Amino acid sequence: MSLRIKRIVSAVVFLSLTVFVINWLQNLVTPKYDWPEHNRRSLKSVRSAFLEPKNSLDAIYLGTSQTFCSISPMDIYDSSHIRSYNLATIAQRVPVAYYMLRGILRRQSPKLVVIDASGFFYTQEELMVTGKWEEMVDSLPLSCYREKLDMMKDIAIMQGREDDTGYLMSAIIPLLRYHKNYKVKKEYFQEHYLHQLYQRKGYVATYNFVAVDKTEVKTAKAMLDVNDTFASDDDKIETLEDCIRANEPYLEKLRDLCHAHGAEIAFVKVPVCTNTRARGYWSANKHEMTQALADRLGVKFLDMCYEDLGLDWQYDSFDGGIHVNHRGARKISARLLDWMQQEFGLSSEPNEKLDRQWAYQSDVFASEVEYLDLELEHDLFKFFDRVEQGDYTLFTTVSNGLGDHWSDEAQRRLEALTGTKRDLRDAKNAAYISVSSHGRIIEERHGKKSCTIEATLGDGLRYKAVSKTGKGKKNGMVDIWGVDYAPEGRGIHFVVYDNNLGCVVDSVCFDTSTAELTALQETRYQYVMRERLIEYVHGRMNGM
């Protein structure tokens, strides 16, 4: 080989080696926006969306965290076979949504784009928070390099660094921005939830409920009747007008973008509660301004805050009024579907391959939802229904005595469920523990003041259960492999252990000293359960 050729070859090889090393480093230090403790899973939805088959989506949803908690495309699909995707992300700014949509529209041709008005009220300053732009730039795939560069240019102009080529190039080479990140905790760079969102289609399902002060909650109908404002005099008209002014140009661009791609665009507002907690998230002023904006742009607007969707903010929201959980999402999705079908005549064309795919994913989603529904169940009898249907081992303990409202019906159901022969109506002030599975008692103990079981189940599961009477907050314990899963509160406690997943999947306390039998969740089990559930779903999705 002549010297010249040798040199060219060695130069090329050297270059490739360098590029390879730099690329590897880049993957190492670029955050994956997948930090569980910061709840940033939602950006994975953007990556997953680009993996959907081309031109398979009929509708796309944009918006903020309220949106991705409220709209479940799979539920919509189950009712109507309409395929949609939830591309809402945390605190999504309208300009960021615009660029993201531009990117996704290279692969998809939806008939309808719905954007939630929660994101319309960011101030100009808030719009310019570069982190929110950068995370989208980094989450878009390389094929959307045009969007990446345009976004980077926008931020550069905002920061006054338009001539910093390195900064602009960091759109495509994020290493230039993150090269100092080797000092950050390693958790930030691991991928946690791999395919979690495929079958959820961008929807983030949650499974908790917390106490809400019912006196504060006004129904939507009541509010419309009395012409009540939603919330405060906290929002000043000038500030809101500034926000609208800042966001309107991009909403116009969004509208034009949709029309250019043959899609309709609609505004929506998902419900928030009227209590103190959710104050500031929506108001009559915001409603009016959004309606005016919608009229100006010629866009239809559905404000679900003023509609009666049958939301029970006690049990349908996981944070006391701002975001709904899966129960709430079902109701909202149903209403949205109705509206989309009526107002826009949205429907889906049957496509054998796609329908097969979605049907399978729907199946996987349904098996996930079973667990979610169990966790969300706050009605004692319905809870019993669900436990009966699954392959569970049930740990039942009584804490601080049952009190006066343990009914005959409840007793009968418990006997059927666990196979117990003991009448708990005798246990008003006594302690009781049972471990059962498939309608048969495995272990049972009772005592006047307290009782304990420490044993190992057939498949090697070591546990210790304690029940006590008294006045303290926590007088029951169910310790499995060193972790106590029992909830707090008085009444009858259930810890549900799934024999297939190999972990606890629910822990709930029903307060039998009150007539309502209020349910109280314990969420400690959720961390392990999520992991197991993901592995399980992952396994099933891979089989697709």
**Closest to another protein by CB, 145 or 527:** 145
Least separation in angstroms between residue 145's CB and another protein is 16
Q: Rounded to whole angstroms, how far apart are CA atoms 430 and 264?
A: 63
List residues binding another protein (CB under 8 A).
Answer: 7, 14, 17-18, 21-22, 25, 29, 130, 159, 161, 164-167, 169-170, 175-177, 179-180, 182-183
Q: Rounded to whole angstroms, how far apart are CA atoms 15 and 33?
A: 30
Q: Rounded to whole angstroms, how far apart are CA atoms 433 and 400?
A: 12
Given a contact cutoff of 8 angstroms between Cβ atoms, the answer to whether 489 and 476 are in contact is no
Least separation in angstroms between residue 90's CB and another protein is 22
Least separation in angstroms between residue 126's CB and another protein is 19
**Closest to another protein by CB, 133 or 318:** 133
**Closest to another protein by CB, 121 or 178:** 178
Least separation in angstroms between residue 128's CB and another protein is 13
CA 453: distance to chain centroid? 37
Torsion sign (Cα): 437, 443, 449, 450: negative
Stated as kind and residue range, the H or E segment containing 27 is helix 3-29
Least separation in angstroms between residue 17's CB and another protein is 6
Amino acid identity at 175? L
Least separation in angstroms between residue 225's CB and another protein is 53
Residues in the chain: 544
Least separation in angstroms between residue 136's CB and another protein is 16
**Closest to another protein by CB, 182 or 527:** 182
Least separation in angstroms between residue 190's CB and another protein is 19
Least separation in angstroms between residue 92's CB and another protein is 22
Least separation in angstroms between residue 10's CB and another protein is 8
CA 373: distance to chain centroid? 14
**Closest to another protein by CB, 165 or 514:** 165
DSSP notation for 265-333: EEEEE----SSSTTTTS--HHHHHHHHHHHHHHT-EEEEGGGS-----TTTSBSSSSSSB-HHHHHHHH
Least separation in angstroms between residue 175's CB and another protein is 7
**Closest to another protein by CB, 29 or 273:** 29
* Pairing mode, strands 59-62 and 84-86: parallel
For 112, 333, 363, the CA distances from 83, given in Å and listed in that order, are 11, 13, 15
**Closest to another protein by CB, 17 or 292:** 17
Amino acid identity at 196? Q
**Token pair for residue 230?**
């939603």
**Closest to another protein by CB, 159 or 514:** 159
Torsional class of 108: left (φ above 0), alpha (ψ -120 to 50), beta (otherwise): beta
**Closest to another protein by CB, 145 or 381:** 145
List phi, psi (to 5°) of 274. Answer: -95, 5
DSSP notation for 480-496: ETTEE----SSEEEEEE
Given a contact cutoff of 8 angstroms between Cβ atoms, the answer to whether 504 and 371 are in contact is no
Q: Which residue, 544, 543, 464, 538, is CA-closest to 501?
A: 538
**Closest to another protein by CB, 23 or 276:** 23
List alpha helices for 345-492, DSSP H.
352-376, 380-389, 408-418
Q: Rounded to whole angstroms, how far apart are CA atoms 357 and 97?
A: 27
Q: Rounded to whole angstroms, how far apart are CA atoms 81 and 59?
A: 12
Least separation in angstroms between residue 167's CB and another protein is 6
**Token pair for residue 532?**
């197991």
Least separation in angstroms between residue 2's CB and another protein is 13
**Closest to another protein by CB, 130 or 291:** 130
**Closest to another protein by CB, 170 or 467:** 170
Q: Rounded to whole angstroms, how far apart are CA atoms 30 and 48?
A: 18
**Closest to another protein by CB, 8 or 260:** 8
Given a contact cutoff of 8 angstroms between Cβ atoms, the answer to whether 383 and 495 are in contact is no
